[in-house]
Structure 1
């Protein structure tokens, strides 16, 4: 196992270097340093679950094969894992910008590969490696890496700063690094006068609660001038952890008003404008002449009361409903639920009243002591920190941070649990300018969090057909009237964001139905309701006219409106799987839960469809970023084990949009296949997924991906392991246009593509894993041992038309098309020959039928029974070969046959 570590009392450069090293070495795990600088500790308090770090005590030293050490090359500074420097069997790689204390010979003797660069920060060297390898970084990751540069270079001002540090910082900003976020953690040092003023302002700090918002104000009178009041304001805000701060400082005959805000509902620039100043919503200032500090203070409070809007409260922020467990269920059941929902902690309730919290670590310890079947109430934490639904965001933040907890239950006055708030929920609200990658439902396991809430550009919304857009707006109003929230989800949102992609057609959202109802078509727009999807669908039908078909088990409905639109409506829900490849179990949930159950990040976005939120984009899992990067990325690690058909969908979407399957997703696919999950998919579902892939316009690339994963050979050894699919499918399409009538073109192409996946010349029966429908099975039966002989007869130059006709007469049209393609694969000339003869065969089926009928043959003297059919076949063969051309010719032929066979009708094989 490979691990990444840095020095004790780690600074931001060490932390950022670890993150960069993890991108360069995807299989290595970061080890959290045992101690951190205060600013780093504060950062990790908020983001510890985002960076996926392993604690030192959980590292088994015997399993370590390699260590990657950053920002130090001294074993004494590397904590418990420093002993590995002395282990010759462990590969040791060091990245540092501090001059190494070891000589090259000493490092070589210890087996240490030191990469030293005289830079302002270690992370700069690693960023350059990311650039060279073209490894993408999210906005959040870019911000973390920039923290390392800014911290170790004094915001690019120390004399050790190099041009390379500046270039690296510029690259990070270009990739979305948030400088405002960096300012929250890194500040320049204060001068003596500034520090003295800061201390006096802190001592005079007073707090007001205005419209539910805690506002801090401090005043001071100075005779001398002290510069950079903005720096003092920032430092004071950070030191005292203040959400809204105003400083009123008189210097000579001028009063300086400086404001800072972290809250959306407090626009500092609007408040400063009342004093003749301005700035940004989060930072502004004003200079007031000929006034008194006390007067400005009084006026400021009055302005604040007028302009501070009511803040968001816990109810606005919480996730609901919450997955809970009863206090009497056994620990094993609680752990099963945690695994299903990918969470590390569960509220414990009795009749919805909160009793405690049980964590996965609590359960693991109890199970270790053979207490797996004990009830959770004996091991839960009883003293649970909670907030009420009306608690301010300030109270939520204070409780999360002061108690170092990752989740905060929201309860009503009776103790009934109403929702839950996580650290990521709070961070998303406070820092919604940060983009990054996925997170688990309750933020305890995987990944980073993604910005939500931007409104979709008007020009994108304008591309949706007007009648559909009008319908969605009306649907949002109906949902709001029922106290529900409505969202468009999935492919509709994805395709809106990808409307510039040549493979996306927004016109497909318009129904093909006419207003008079002469035809109908289903609109590919999925709607999700936070509430009750069935009740909402029924309300839509009453309001707009239409019929509803409900599906109670999955809490979904299909709404057929009189206007012609047919919409799928679902209740926002959890899904989990009782065993791999099972159909999902369903429970009501929030839009966030509903999106988390989806397959890939690009399909896990939603658009709000109601009121002022209309067009607001929800993207919790990095879908926008993955669309921009052209990636198919799965949401959680067990996705392909729970539903192996997602492997086919990953392939299908990658080929449809020309995307790549992301590295971790690719690894998870291969791991799931190695675990044998394909064997758990029903034969019918396997066939359906293959057909969906073959219907894709870029099916050849999808088949190449399936071959790369060895999926086809695993399903049935008679499926070809590989093939030149782009060329093969192109020839199938080209030949089908000449061979098939228009009405059969698409179906014949599909079935020929299916045939092309199989070996030919061997028996194809129903013993494989794929359940093949009758008409496809009939095609496959043509590929048996005689198939090669048929191909040879088709290509023989001396083969007569009748011989070719009899060879092909029992072969289906898709199999004939595949024969022609196989001939072309041998050589284009043979392909042309096979195609022309096959066309002649198909034409002969209608153009060269005998003119005389069976009844007429009997009247002429042919014995009743199979002899009639044989004589008709002989007539048709001679017509094909040009030996008879008219009815008279046919009658003459019949008379000769009767003459030769009059005494031999019991030996029909002797018909000449």
Structure 2
């Protein structure tokens, strides 16, 4: 695609027209990196990144609300008027004191900034007039579908670029050119990844899980040696993701019957946190014995992954038994266990059984004359089990009678 056509593609992207209008008033500012790459490839540009020769703050504030400033690299996170996130960075040169360490930076010009980037295909910039700047070989590599690092020490300096190599190869359908392929293999063999913190590697893993084809990205990563021990079963992954619940919805039709009162057994429990598709996918490929790598996961994320590995495959059983076995389990782990076992039973638990509630509670039993204490919980649990197993309907009086008769 010609630069003028790429400019129009950028203009049509979210926040693109606004960003280019602002940049037209700042001749030292350029759209850079992935959005320009995608526009030149005829793909829909993604998030807009801007590089500024000199002080980037005036450009950042002209683009929208500055929500974060990263002093070490003189970069700004900006929310544009349409809600899009724009990264505004100072054009810089970088020097790595140690392999895997964060770089030392100094202000520089656009040419140096392009040469510090991960691959030639991302070392491209376009200004508001349509002027295109590119590192050597960048445009040829874009046209040929090649991934090429900009210098021989690239993977040693920043081993997270190994993950980016995998992601771009899968997403774009590009192949590393021979020298880059050899450098990547040598970097892995020499232990380059050990020089990077788990948090940084975890961030790259999360980006891979967010790719359009995350399973292919994991497969490529495992082939290169970035991860190991994963069981990459496409059917299992697809089945697990299919079991995740959609946005909360009524389950009355599944339970049968007409309109229900707000206190009915079909009432949905609140679900403040949506299920994590990325952790479900990762949990589905972690073998049953678990996964030793920390990857900078939080304690909550680690628990989900641990339960994905440990939870036994779901087997057909009475609804009350299934609910008792799965109570308190992360929904991501339930999805994986369902994919490994009986998916129909898992689906009924996810869609219906876990939402069933009684029309009575402990206060009702106390009002009926029962004393406070653990016995109330036992009676309610027994009544709920009968409700789940179809022995009781939604009638409040019938549930009270059953609870009092336990």
* Pairwise TM-score range, normalised by the shorter structure: 0.7 to 0.9
Cα distance in 2, alignment partners of residues 494 and 584 from structure 1: 24
Matched, 1:593 2:101: no
Question: 626, 631, 649: which is aligned to 2:164?
Answer: 649
State the distance in 2 between where 1:457 and 1:734 align.
Answer: 42
Closer, same or farther: CA 496–638 of 1 in aligned 2, 3 Å: same
State the secondary structure of the residue aligned to 1:598: coil
Query: Relative to structure 1, is the Cα distance of residues 586 and 783 closer, same or farther in structure 2, using a 3 angstrom cutoff?
Result: same
Change (3 A) 1:741 1:470: closer
Q: Does residue 1:864 correspond to 2:372, yes or no?
A: yes
Residues 159 and 193 in structure 2, CA contact (< 8 A), matched pair in contact too: yes
Q: 1:780 to 1:461 in 2, by over 3 A?
A: closer
Partner of 2:88: 569
**Offset from partner CA, 1:143-197 (integer Å, 9 cap, x none):** xxxxxxxxxxxxxxxxxxxxxxxxxxxxxxxxxxxxxxxxxxxxxxxxxxxxxxx
The higher radius of gyration belongs to 1
Secondary structure class of the residue paired with 1:586: strand
Inter-CA distance 890–555: structure 2 relative to 1 (3 Å threshold): closer
Say whether residues 1:779 and 2:307 are aligned partners.
no
Answer yes or no: is 1:740 the counterpart of 2:246. yes
The match for 2:397 is 888
Counterpart secondary structure, 1:711: coil
Equivalent residue for 1:814?
332
Q: Using the TM superposition, give the Cα deviation of residue 817 of structure 1 relative to its aligned residue in structure 2, in angstroms.
A: 1.2
Question: What is the CA deviation profile of residues 215-265 of structure 1, one whole-angstrom value per residue up to 9, with x for unaligned ones?
Answer: xxxxxxxxxxxxxxxxxxxxxxxxxxxxxxxxxxxxxxxxxxxxxxxxxxx
What is the rounded CA distance, in whole Å, between the counterparts of 2:239 and 2:168 in structure 1? 23
2:85 matched to 1:531? no
Query: 1:698: Cα distance to partner?
Result: 1.1
Equivalent positions of 1:546-585 (< 5 A) are 550-558=69-77, 567-585=86-104
CA contact (8 A) 2:155 2:183 kept: yes
Q: Is the 8 A contact 1:732 1:749 kept in 2?
A: no
Structure 1 residues without counterparts, runs of 5 or longer: 1-454, 480-484, 509-523, 714-719, 824-832, 898-912
| More contact order relative to length (CA 8 Å, sep ≥ 6) | 2
TM-score normalized by structure 1?
0.39
Secondary structure of the residue that 1:692 maps to in structure 2?
helix
**Alpha-carbon deviations, 1:348-385, whole Å to 9, x = none?**
xxxxxxxxxxxxxxxxxxxxxxxxxxxxxxxxxxxxxx
| Offset at residue 757 of structure 1 (A) | 2.8
Q: Does 1:803 align with 2:309?
A: no
CA contact (8 A) 2:3 2:40 kept: no
- Cα distance in structure 1, aligned partners of 2:216 and 2:143: 21
Given the alignment, which residue of 195, 201, 204 partners 1:680?
A: 195
**What secondary structure sits across from 1:723 in the alignment?**
coil
Map 1:136-151; keep pairs closer than 5 Å: none
Which of 856-865 and 635-644 deviates more? 856-865
- Which residue in the other structure is 2:39 paired with? 496
Which residue does 1:878 correspond to in 2?
Answer: 386
Is 1:754 paired with 2:282?
Answer: yes
Match of 1:711 in 2: 226
Aligned to 1:243: none
RMSD between aligned alpha carbons?
3.0
Aligned partners of 1:807 and 1:624: how far apart in 2? 57
- Three-state SS of the structure 2 residue aligned to 1:587 is strand
CA separation of 1:700 and 1:532: change in aligned 2, threshold 3 A: same
Contact 1:816–1:838 under 8 Å retained in 2: no
Tell me the number of residue pairs that the alignment of Structure 1 and Structure 2 aligns.
Answer: 381
> Structure 2 length as normaliser, TM-score?
0.83
Quote the residue 1:460 is aligned against. 6
Given that 1:704 and 1:722 are in contact with CA atoms closer than 8 Å, whether structure 2 keeps it comes out as no
Counterpart CA distance in 2 for 1:891 and 1:608 is: 72
Q: 1:632 aligns with which of 137, 144, 147?
A: 147
Give the 3 Å change call, closer, same or farther, for CA 746–800 of structure 1 in structure 2: closer
Residue 846 of structure 1 corresponds to 355
Question: 1:456 touches 1:617 (CA, 8 Å); kept in 2?
Answer: no
Q: Residues 285-304 of structure 1: matches in 2 within 5 Å?
A: none
Structure 2 alignment gaps of length 5 or more: 250-270
Range that drifts further, 470-479 or 803-812: 470-479
Alpha-carbon separation, structure 2, partners of 1:734 and 1:528: 41
Q: CA deviation at 1:877?
A: 0.7
Mapped partners of 2:230, 2:85: distance in 1 = 41
Using the TM superposition, give the Cα deviation of residue 552 of structure 1 relative to its aligned residue in structure 2, in angstroms. Answer: 3.9
